[in-house]
Chain A
Amino acid sequence: MTDKTISKTPGLSRRSLLKAGFAAGAVAGTAGAARAAGDPLITEIQDWNRYLGDGVQARPYGVPSEFEAHVVRRDVEWLTASTESSVNFTPLHELDGIITPNGLCFERHHGGIADINPADHRLMINGLVDTPLVFTMEDLKRFPRENRVYFLECAANSGMEWRGSQLNGCQYTHGMVHCVMYTGVPLKLILEEAGLKTNGKWVMPEGADASAMTRSIPIEKALDDCLVAFKMNGEALRPEQGYPLRLVVPGWEGNMWVKWLRRIEVGDEPWHQREETSKYTDLLENGKARRFTWVMDPKSVITSPSPQAPISHGKGPMVISGVAWSGNGRIKRVDVSLDGGRNWKTARLDGPSLSKAMHRFYLDIDWDGSDMLLQSRAMDEHGFFQPTKNELRAARGENSIYHNNGIQTWHVKADGMVENVEVS
C-alpha cells in the first residue's frame, strides 16, 4: 500500500498538471469545431490512452486497482474484547470463481498474528513415535509434496444468525470461509518418518503463537488427507494464515487447521483441550453438548445479489451467483428458489468441482422486477442436503453457536435493494 502511494503520487501530480495545461490549450484550439456526438469516454481521448502509465516495478508486489479499494476484509468491532483474539470476514459478495485471493481470506486469531522468521521455525513430532524428530522448514521442503484446493470454514460461520437474521451482508453472515490451493507435505509422510507406534490413535497439532493453539485429531484423518502446508495459491502462506507453516484438515472445522504449526504429538487418547471443550462444542436445547463435531456440513449462499451487492440495473437478464461447499466431498447439485422455497430450479455449477473445495453456481434469469425471496440449497455427493434454519433449530435449539449451515434467504426488493430475512 505504502509502496503504491509513494511511487504513484509524483507521477500522478505531474500528469494531472499536464492534463490541466493541455485541456486549457485544447479547448482554446478547437473552439468552434464540431463536437462528436456520443459517450465522451469514447468520443474524447482519455488520459490513459495518451500518456504513459506506471512502468514495470512501480508495483514490485502487485496490489489491486485503486478502484477496488472497498474490496477488503471487514470486522465487527463489538464482537470481541480485543483484536488479537478476534475475527474478520471474507468479502464473498465481491468475489467470483472458487479461489479466494490470499489477502482476502478471513482471519481468526486467538493471540494475534505470530511473526516468525522461517529460519527460526521448527516442527517437532513427539509422543507415541519411534524417534521424536525436529524439522526445519528446509527439511520439510525435501519431502514429496502435493497441491490441493480446499475450503476452510470456521465452525462459528453464521453463528450470529441462530436467533434470527442479524447481519446485513453475506460477508458477515457467511464470510468466515475461504478456498485456496495449498502446497504441502502429506502429514502421513511426516508421521511415518518418525515411526508411528501401533497405539498411536490421536494426534495433537500445536501452534507457535501466543495462544499455543491445540486440537485433538483422530489418526485416521491424520493419515488420510491432512497436509502440512507452506504455500497458498502458489506463494508463501500469509502471516495471518500461519506463516511459515500450517496444518490443513480438509473438510473439517477451521479451528483445527492449526497455524504457525510447531509441534504434533501422537497419543492414545484425545487431550480435551480448551478449544474442544469450552469452545467448539455444540450446546443443545436439553443442556447436552456435542463434542468432536469436526465435519463442516453442506452449505451454500447466494453472494450476488445480496445486501452488500444490490441489483443496480433494473429488470431483464441477470446472473444469480453463489458458492457451495461440503466437508463430505464434492457438491453435486445446488437448487435456487426465487420465491422463498416454494419452487426450486437447479443452478449451473461452473468451474472445477473438487472434493472439499468451494463450488461456484449460477442461475441465469430474466428478472421481471418484482420482489424475490432468494434461497440456495446445496447437496453433496453423499446425498446430504442443506437443511432450513428452522429444521436446525428444531433439532438443536438456538445456543449451538457452531455449525449453522441453514438455508439463507435474501429479500430482493423492486428497487434492487437486498435484505437478510427469515421466512415462514
Chain B
Amino acid sequence: MSKFLKALSLGTLIATLPLLAATAHAGDAEKGEKVFKKCTACHAVGEGAKNKVGPELNEVFGRTAGSLEDYKYSKAMIDAGSGGLVWDETTLTTYLTKPKDMVKGTKMAFAGLKKQEDLENVIAYLATFSSAAAPADQQSAAEPAAEETETASADTAVEAPAVPVSETRDGGVFGLGRAATEDEVAAWDIDIRPDGTGLPEGSGTVADGEVLFTENCAVCHGDFGEGVGRWPVLAGGQDTLTEERPEKTIGSYWPYLSTVYDYVRRAMPYGNARSLSDDDVYALTAYLLYLNDLVEDEDFELSKDNFQEIRLPNEENFIADDRAEEPHYAAKAEPCMSDCKDSAVEITMRARILDVTPGSVDDDEASGMGGVD
C-alpha cells in the first residue's frame, strides 16, 4: 500500500527536500501564469474553475493525488493517492518534470517541464490558488485529506444504481424494450452526413475558432494543426498523396467537411469529449478550413446555412472496393505447387535491418517508421 510513499520518501523527498527548503518560494507567480498556458488545454484554475481533460487545480496543495470526486482519474493516479501521494512543492516538482516517470500509467498526456525556472514559477502560480500552500503544513495536511476521501468514497459506494426492470410493451415481435423519448434520441443522435443531415443550428467564425483551438486543441495538434510529437496532424499535406510519405489531413485527404464537424463534436478535445457547444464546433471547423487554406478570410463565418457550399478538394478521389479485380484474386487459378521459381530464392530484406521490434531500438530512432492508424 505505502510502497509509493516509501519509494518517494526514500528517493525524491530526501534528495530534494534540503534543496527546496533553501529555494522555497523562489518561483515567480506572475511568470508562472504564462507557463500555465501549457496546462490550460487540460486544466483550469481560479474562480469557477471546472474539470477539463485534467482535474481543476484549485487547492491542489495538500490535495491527495487523484482525490477530486467529480473527476475520473486513471487507476494509477488513484493508487498513487491511496499510497500516500499528496501534492506539495516537492511532489509537484517531481510530477511536472516527468509525469509518467513518477506516476506510471497516469493519463496526463504531457511530457513535462524541462526548465527548473518554469517549474518553480508554475508551482508558485498554483500556490496562489491554494490555502494550504505553506510548505510547513504539508506533512500534517496529508492525513486528514486522505481520511476525507476515504469516507467520501465509502459514501458513494452505498448508493448503487437500481437495476432497471425489464418489462414488455405492446408491439414489436417480442414486445421487448421501450420507446425512446425524443429527448433521448436528440441527446445521442448527433451524427452528420455529407448531405447536411443532422447539422444543428448555429455558426462560428475563423477568428473565434482560432481562440478555441489555441485553448483546447493546440497542446496536441499544434498551433497550426501541424501536430505536436506523435499527435495527429490536422493541416497541410496537399498534393502529397502520390508521394513516398503521403500526409493525410483534412485538406489533403478527407472527402467531406461534415466528417470534421461530426468527429470534433463527438470525440474532441481528446479526454473531454462533448464539452464544446455547437457554435464552438462551427468555429473550430471554420478554423480547420482556414489552417488548410480552404478559406482565406479570418472573418469567414461557417454556419448551418453555408456549410453545404464547402467542398473538400479530395472528394473525387475515393473509389469503391475493387480488390477482387486485382490480378492475384481475379485469376482464382490453382497456384503452382512445385518448382515455382526459376532460380534459388534469395533473401532481399531482413527485419534486423529495419528492426524496430520493441526493446531492440530506442524510441526516437524508431518513430516515423510507419504505424497503425
Rounded to whole Å, the gap between the CB of B308 and the closest CB of chain A is: 14
Question: Is the CB–CB distance between B248 and A342 below 8 Å?
Answer: no
Q: In the bound complex, what is the Cα–Cα distance between A335 and B335 (angstroms)? A: 10
Please tell me if A283 contacts chain B, counting CB pairs below 8 Å.
yes
Question: Is the CB–CB distance between A422 and B178 below 8 Å?
Answer: no
Max count, chain B CB within 10 A of own CB: residue among A84, A212, A290, A344: A212
Closest to A284 in B: B319
Question: Is the CB–CB distance between A341 and B266 below 8 Å?
Answer: no
- Contact partner of B327 (CB less than 8 A), chosen from A163, A270, A391, A422, is A391
Interface residues of A in 203-261 (CB under 8 A from B): 204, 206, 210-212, 214
With a cutoff of 8 Å between Cβ atoms, the chain B residues found around residue A167 in the complex are: 351, 355-357
Question: Is the CB–CB distance between B321 and A132 below 8 Å?
Answer: no
Interface residues of A in 304-352 (CB under 8 A from B): 307, 335, 339-344
Per-position 1/0 for B329-373, Cβ under 8 A of A:
100100111111101111111111011111010011011011111
A395-B328, A422-B348 known; 17 other A-B pairs, CB under 8 Å? A76-B356, A78-B364, A81-B229, A132-B185, A133-B177, A138-B166, A159-B373, A165-B349, A168-B360, A172-B358, A206-B188, A211-B266, A277-B259, A297-B323, A388-B328, A421-B351, A423-B346
Please tell me if B226 contacts chain A, counting CB pairs below 8 Å.
no
Q: In the bound complex, what is the Cα–Cα distance between A307 and B189 (angstroms)? A: 47
The stretch of B83-91, B151-159, B267-275 that contacts the partner chain: B267-275
With a cutoff of 8 Å between Cβ atoms, the chain B residues found around residue A289 in the complex are: 241, 253, 317-319
Rounded to whole Å, the gap between the CB of A299 and the closest CB of chain B is: 13
Question: Is the CB–CB distance between B370 and A159 below 8 Å?
Answer: yes
With A279-B373, A287-B242, A292-B320: A166-B351 Cβ-Cβ less than 8 Å: yes
Question: Is the CB–CB distance between A79 and B255 below 8 Å?
Answer: no
Residues of B within 8 A of A (CB): 107, 109, 161-166, 171-174, 176-180, 184-185, 188-189, 191-195, 220, 229-232, 241-242, 246, 248, 250, 253-256, 258-259, 262-263, 266-267, 270-271, 273, 317-323, 326-329, 332, 335-341, 343-352, 354-358, 360, 363-364, 366-367, 369-373
Question: Is the CB–CB distance between B271 and A214 below 8 Å?
Answer: no
Cβ-Cβ contact count across A and B, 8 Å cutoff: 310
With A84-B107, A210-B273, A384-B329: A343-B340 Cβ-Cβ less than 8 Å: yes
Q: In the bound complex, what is the Cα–Cα distance between A384 and B327 (angstroms)? A: 11
With A124-B184, A290-B322, A293-B321: A342-B345 Cβ-Cβ less than 8 Å: yes
Q: In the bound complex, what is the Cα–Cα distance between A342 and B194 (angstroms)? A: 50
Question: Is the CB–CB distance between A278 and B248 below 8 Å?
Answer: yes
Rounded to whole Å, the gap between the CB of B334 and the closest CB of chain A is: 9
Q: In the bound complex, what is the Cα–Cα distance between A172 and B369 (angstroms)? A: 14
Please tell me if A302 contacts chain B, counting CB pairs below 8 Å.
no
Rounded to whole Å, the gap between the CB of B304 and the closest CB of chain A is: 18
With A132-B179, A263-B188, A342-B341: A78-B367 Cβ-Cβ less than 8 Å: yes
Which 6 residue pairs of A and B lie closest in terms of their CB atoms, listed nearest first? A340-B345, A420-B351, A81-B230, A138-B166, A387-B328, A133-B177
Q: In the bound complex, what is the Cα–Cα distance between A119 and B371 (angstroms)? A: 38
Closest to A85 in B: B270
**A–B complex contacts, Cβ < 8 Å, 5 sampled:** A84-B270, A134-B184, A204-B191, A277-B256, A424-B346
Closest to B274 in A: A212
Rounded to whole Å, the gap between the CB of B23 and the closest CB of chain A is: 33
Rounded to whole Å, the gap between the CB of B283 and the closest CB of chain A is: 19
- Contact partner of A421 (CB less than 8 A), chosen from B185, B232, B255, B349, is B349
With a cutoff of 8 Å between Cβ atoms, the chain A residues found around residue B273 in the complex are: 111, 210-212
Rounded to whole Å, the gap between the CB of B322 and the closest CB of chain A is: 7
Rounded to whole Å, the gap between the CB of A359 and the closest CB of chain B is: 18
Q: In the bound complex, what is the Cα–Cα distance between A192 and B175 (angstroms)? A: 11
Question: Is the CB–CB distance between B318 and A291 below 8 Å?
Answer: yes
With a cutoff of 8 Å between Cβ atoms, the chain B residues found around residue A131 in the complex are: 171-172, 179
Q: In the bound complex, what is the Cα–Cα distance between A260 and B174 (angstroms)? A: 24
Please tell me if A16 contacts chain B, counting CB pairs below 8 Å.
no
Please tell me if A153 contacts chain B, counting CB pairs below 8 Å.
no
Question: Is the CB–CB distance between A119 and B327 below 8 Å?
Answer: no
Please tell me if A281 contacts chain B, counting CB pairs below 8 Å.
yes
Please tell me if A399 contacts chain B, counting CB pairs below 8 Å.
yes
Closest to A379 in B: B335
Please tell me if A377 contacts chain B, counting CB pairs below 8 Å.
yes
Please tell me if A96 contacts chain B, counting CB pairs below 8 Å.
no
With A287-B242, A377-B335: A420-B350 Cβ-Cβ less than 8 Å: yes
With A131-B179, A133-B179, A411-B347: A341-B357 Cβ-Cβ less than 8 Å: no
Interface residues of A in 107-162 (CB under 8 A from B): 108, 110-112, 117, 119-120, 124-127, 131-136, 138-140, 142-143, 154, 156, 159-160, 162
Question: Is the CB–CB distance between A273 and B351 below 8 Å?
Answer: no
Question: Is the CB–CB distance between B358 and A271 below 8 Å?
Answer: no
With A210-B267, A289-B319: A339-B185 Cβ-Cβ less than 8 Å: no
